[in-house]
Structure 1
Amino acid sequence: MSERFRLRPTIELRQIRSFVTLAQELNFHKAAERLFITQPSLSHQIALLEATIGVRLFQRDRKRVALTDAGRAILDDAQHLLAQLDMVIVKARRIAAVDSATLRVGFPEYAKRTFIPGITAAFRSRHPEVKLTLTEGYSRALLPELRHGRLDVAFVRIPPAEDPGDLTVEQIIDEPHGLLLAAGHRLAAHSEVPVAALAGEQLLLVERPVNPALYDRISEWLQKNGVKPHFLKIDGPGIYSFDTMVMVIQSGEAITLSARAMARGLPPDVVYRPILGPAPRFQVAAVWSPTNVTPLLQEFLSVTRELRDHDVATASAGAATGRRP
């Protein structure tokens, strides 16, 4: 066989591990124990490596073991190579473990305008190999899906439409309600709308059966402040779509309570105004089963908390400087 086509000896991973371990211990007995092999086997691996690269890596006799200049020169590179190989193995095993993994997330329609895009984008950037299955619905439908194991986590309004029972509930959003109204509405002239100014207004709310506890909380707040608005009645099954509610508001027929975050991307003829004085809170919680302890869910919750804490810090900084987030 010509020199051009002669195969070069192959360096094996176990030879590199043997070299690095012996270089760290400088003792054949201790190095062999760390590698779970016999001393003769370790000596054989070192001899093969030295023969393959053509240089002595260790000076050894019956009393001591020491690295040669060549051994010291390549030790750092060999350790880096092993670290890189270990990372490759870990990554391959992780991807294999979650290659078909799916995280099932439930959320209400308004979440598409507020927090869901940020959470899912952040999670996907860290775990592109994980499939996110997104289910839209009201809490009265999402909570049973959680209990039956068809969802891993859901986001619902507080108070939820029904008692969450033994499900774990963690608040992620807490901000006051404001008002959405047509730009030409009389109340749009206010930078902050007094509660008393709502008297006699047509107030558009999601119907009580959708979330009785939330509906009652808002009604009690209005009564406490001496306001008796005219709740707009809708023929048919009722208005459940946020976009449809915006269309009603655009017409000037009604106004509605809303969080500031939901005002993003609205048509220019619909505006958001804060309420002057205490207002009902717009609160959202992540809910999941305490028996679901998968690392995938814990990572998703971790991302959710990071974004929540960042938003809280940003809002606090804005309040301290007199700016609105």
Structure 2
Amino acid sequence: MDIRQLRYFIAVAENLNFTEAANQLFIAQSSLSQRIAELERSLGVKLFKRNKRSVQLTSAGTVFLQEATDILQKYAEATERTRQADSGILGTLNIGFLGHSVNQFLPKLVKNFREDYPFITLKLDRYSHGRLNESLKNEELDIAFTSSFGLQNIPNLDLLKVYRDRSCVVVHQDHPLATRTKINMTELTEESFITLKRQVSPQAYDRFLKMCNDSGFSPSIVNQTSFLDTVLLLVEAGMGIAVMPKSVKTIANPGLRFLEIDGSVSQFDMVAAWKKSNPNPSISFFLKEIENFVADSTRNNAPLTMKL
């Protein structure tokens, strides 16, 4: 039994006339009769009652008509879904992100994508900076929203810029520097710093040390924590200051001040990153959604991150 035989059978069952069914199928009536006879032999039952004046379905034929119709429908659905999967319209995307960096754009981006591609399942999760880049490197993620610095050690990457971010000095509102809007790193030589532990975010930790060293001093680090919100808590408690991305302000309490660091060295990009060798065809659709989203935001003068 094959799909063609099922189509032939359904045509005869719906027309109850071999001649009309053969014309509909564009085959000779003799060929159609032969294929139906072969189908009946393979099933071991009679599907039609035939005489010179009429063709009728047997009780077995009536049951088989429903089953054959269902099979053809499932076959058509399976064929379409397989083609969609091959094109990427049907599939799954595993996406990782840094919590503070996506608050201003990811919810809307995901909503738009799900409306445009309802058959692509999105699996999203928040990661620490170090774990995010490691998961991208190990091909556990299809796409990662991450900082542009620290990616040079991951081979075979493609990047798509989402927005420009910059590092800021975070101080308590009562700190002597709190009234400033900009500051130079050289002014921080006597300050005490709160940082994330290096194993949590080796990229950010090493970048912070380099910024200090390039400014002529080695920072006095008085406390290291595993969580970004703890860094902010300790700064708010007056235990020290921190260097954080401007986007962190979206989750910070109003008692903290973010001072922009002078110079282009403080700037970096928030990017969507993916492995060039990743065969997932759905990636291209999500990247196109990002491009459209960024273009619309630029066109409407809607910043992806908040101003200081």
TM-score range, shorter chain: 0.5 to 0.7
Q: 8 Å contact 2:130–2:203 — kept in the other structure?
A: no
Shift of 1:313: 6.5
Q: 8 Å contact 1:95–1:129 — kept in the other structure?
A: no
Residue 304 of structure 1 pairs with residue 294 of structure 2: no
Question: Match of 1:256?
Answer: 242
Matches within 5 A, 1:152-191: 152-160=142-150, 163-191=153-181
- Equivalent residue letter for 1:172: V
- Report the 3-state secondary structure (helix = DSSP H, G, I; strand = E; otherwise coil) of the residue aligned with 1:154: strand
The more displaced of 264-273 and 116-125 is 116-125
Residue 150 of structure 1 pairs with residue 140 of structure 2: yes
Residue 116 of structure 1 pairs with residue 106 of structure 2: yes
Give a deviation string over 1:15-61, Cα, whole Å, max 9, x none.
Answer: xxxxxxxxxxxxxxxxxxxxx989xxxxxxxxxxxxxxxxxxxxxxx
Match of 1:272 among 258, 279, 292: 258
Once residues 209 and 161 of structure 1 are traced to their aligned partners in structure 2, the CA distance between those partners, rounded to angstroms, is 16
- Equivalent residue letter for 2:147: R
Percent of residue pairs identical = 20
Match of 2:205 among 209, 215, 229: 215
Match of 1:204 among 180, 189, 194: 194
Give a deviation string over 1:248-284, Cα, whole Å, max 9, x none.
Answer: 1211212222232221253221222212344422333
Segments of 5+ residues of structure 2 without an aligned counterpart are 1-24, 28-75
The more displaced of 258-267 and 178-187 is 258-267
Shift of 1:119: 2.9
- Equivalent residue letter for 2:107: P
TM-score calculated relative to the size of structure 2:
0.61
Once residues 165 and 300 of structure 2 are traced to their aligned partners in structure 1, the CA distance between those partners, rounded to angstroms, is 13
Q: 8 Å contact 2:165–2:270 — kept in the other structure?
A: no
- Report the 3-state secondary structure (helix = DSSP H, G, I; strand = E; otherwise coil) of the residue aligned with 2:122: strand
Shift of 1:290: 1.9
Shift of 1:165: 1.3
Q: 8 Å contact 1:108–1:137 — kept in the other structure?
A: yes
Shift of 1:148: 5.0
The more displaced of 185-194 and 304-313 is 304-313
- Equivalent residue letter for 2:177: L
Shift of 1:96: 9.4
Q: Which has the higher strand share?
A: 2
Q: RCO greater where, 1 or 2, for CA within 8 Å and sep 6 or more?
A: 2
Once residues 277 and 204 of structure 1 are traced to their aligned partners in structure 2, the CA distance between those partners, rounded to angstroms, is 22
Once residues 220 and 113 of structure 1 are traced to their aligned partners in structure 2, the CA distance between those partners, rounded to angstroms, is 28
Change (3 A) 1:206 1:262: same
Question: Match of 1:194?
Answer: 184
Shift of 1:303: 1.8
Match of 1:243 among 229, 243, 251: 229
Give a deviation string over 1:60-105, Cα, whole Å, max 9, x none.
Answer: xxxxxxxxxxxxxxxxxxxxxxxxxxxxx99xx5799469732110
Q: 8 Å contact 1:113–1:262 — kept in the other structure?
A: no
Q: 8 Å contact 1:315–1:324 — kept in the other structure?
A: no
Aligned length: 232
Question: Match of 1:54?
Answer: none
Segments of 5+ residues of structure 1 without an aligned counterpart are 1-35, 39-88, 318-322
Once residues 283 and 134 of structure 2 are traced to their aligned partners in structure 1, the CA distance between those partners, rounded to angstroms, is 18
Match of 1:287 among 266, 273, 277: 273
Residue 101 of structure 1 pairs with residue 91 of structure 2: yes
Aligned-residue RMSD, C-alpha: 3.8
Shift of 1:187: 1.0
- Equivalent residue letter for 1:116: L
Question: Match of 2:36?
Answer: none
Question: Match of 1:3?
Answer: none
Give a deviation string over 1:123-179, Cα, whole Å, max 9, x none.
Answer: 233234432111222354334544554321112323237711123334433332122
Match of 2:216 among 210, 226, 232: 226
Q: 8 Å contact 1:178–1:272 — kept in the other structure?
A: yes
- Report the 3-state secondary structure (helix = DSSP H, G, I; strand = E; otherwise coil) of the residue aligned with 1:197: helix
- Equivalent residue letter for 1:199: T
TM-score calculated relative to the size of structure 1:
0.58
Once residues 149 and 277 of structure 1 are traced to their aligned partners in structure 2, the CA distance between those partners, rounded to angstroms, is 35
Once residues 232 and 314 of structure 1 are traced to their aligned partners in structure 2, the CA distance between those partners, rounded to angstroms, is 44
- Equivalent residue letter for 1:264: T
- Report the 3-state secondary structure (helix = DSSP H, G, I; strand = E; otherwise coil) of the residue aligned with 2:190: coil
